[in-house]
Amino acid sequence: MSIEIRRVPTADLQRWAESVSFANSEELPDELWRDVAPTVEPERTLGAYDGDVLVGGGSIFSFDVTVPGGDALPSAGITWIGIMPTHRRQGALRSLMTSMLADAQQRNEPLAVLWASEGSIYQRFGYGLSTLSTSIDLERERASFLSPAEPVGSTRLVSVDEARVAFPPIFETVRPQIPGFYTRTEKWWNIEVLADFKWARRGMDRKFYALHERDGRPDAYALYRARHDWANGVPGSELNVQEIMAVDATALREMWRFIFGIDLIRHVTTRNGSIDEPLLLMVAEPRRVNLRIRDGLWLRVVDVVAALERRSYAADGSVVLDINDTFLPDAGGRYRLTTSGGRGRVERTTDAADIALDAADLGAIYLGGHSLRDLARASRTEELTQGARARADAMLETHIRPWCPQVF
C-alpha cells in the first residue's frame, strides 16, 4: 500500500478534516467545521492519500513563540494530526512529519511545537517535553487569601465586543515575559479565544468575560464557564476558569478575588495553568488548591543555530554539544555555544564534545522548563567533560518558568 503526502486542495479541506477526526475516533459536525475552518491555513495543510482517498493528514499554524529573553521566534504549530486506523504502522505518520518539518525549514522557522495526544508518538521525531501544565480543583468555601489586603480597583462583566478591545493588550503585556506563549492574530482571538460556540460548551453554560480595571485602566481579565449542579437543591456547581491574565500581581489577586466571590459555586477549576501557579502562595490553604501537573507544550528544534542564537542566556561561557538527531540527521552533530552579555553565538565544530544529548533533550531544555541536571537524573544526556553540565545549566537558566496557556 503506497501512501502519498501532498497539499490538500481547498475543495478537499472538509473531507481532509473529517478523515483526521475519524482517525481519532471523533465525528466532525458541519457546524464545528464551519466555525473553525477559518483558522486552518490551506497552504500548510497536508493530506495522507491512498490513491485519491484521504486517510488522514496534518496542518500547521504559523506562530511566533516567545523564547527566553522576550524574542518571538517564527514557529510551526503542528496540529490536526491523524492517520486512519486502516493505514497506521505503514510509515504514513513518519512521512507526514518529515513533510511538515521540511515546510518549517523552507519558511525559516527554527522551532516546531505541538500538544501531544501521546508523548511517545512525538518523542521519536525529536520533540521534547518543553513546558508543564497544571489544573486546579479548589473548593470555593476554602478559597481565602493569606493576606487580607483591601480590594483594589473593580471588576465588571463585559460583552464579547468589549472583550475584543480590552483583552488583547493585557495578553500582549504578558506574552513577551513568559517563554512558551505564542502570538494571537485577530482571527485567533475571535475564533479560538472569545467565541462561544455551543458545540464547544461540553455540558457547561455560556462563556463569561470579566475585566478588572484599576484607575480606569484594564489590567486583568478572566474567561469562565459554569457547569450547574443542584442535587437535592444544594448548589454543587463548578466554575471553570478557561483563561486568566493579569499585568501584575495585584491585578491577578483582584481577578481571583472576583472569581472566589461568585455565588452558588462549589468548585473552582482550571485546566491550563502554569507550573509555578501564583495561587498556591496567595491562598491560606495551598493544599486545597489541589494542583495537578501534566505535560504541556512539546518543542522540537528545527534549526539549531538560529534557535540557540535567538534566545538569551544568564551567564557567560562556552560548551560543545553533540546532538544526536536520528530524524533530521542534517540538524545533528557538534555545535559550540558561546555566550556573552546575555546573547549566544553558535557554530559547528569538530572539537571534542562536552555534553551528548539527543534532539528531544534539546527540545526539553530550550525554553528553560528543564535543566540538563533534570535530564541527567532521568538517565538522559551524558556529561563528557567534568563540570560541563553545571556550566551549561548556568548559561541556559531562566528566571521565569515557561508556560503555554492554550492548547492548539
Q: What residues are labeled active site?
A: 122, 408
* Three cell numbers written together for 71: 524574542
User: Residue 160 in 3-state DSSP?
Assistant: helix
Closest C-alpha to 250, from 367, 183, 368, 155: 155
**Cβ atoms of residues 325 and 112 within 8 Å:** no
Place of cell 530550550: 366
Q: Please tell me the distance from the alpha carbon of residue 251 to that of residue 246, in angstroms, as a whole number.
A: 6
How many other CB atoms sit within 10 Å of the CB of residue 79?
20
Single-letter code of the amino acid located at 128? G
Name the grid cell of 26: 471523533
Cell of 137: 480543583
- In eight-state DSSP terms, residue 82 is E
> Interior CA angle at 248 toward 244 and 253, to 5°?
60
Strand partners, 294: 133
- Which single residue is written with the C-alpha cell 475584543? 164
Count CA atoms closer than 13 A to 407's CA, side-chain side.
14
Cα–Cα distance for residue pair 73/367, rounded to 1 Å: 12
User: What is the CB neighbour count within 10 angstroms for residue 208?
Assistant: 17
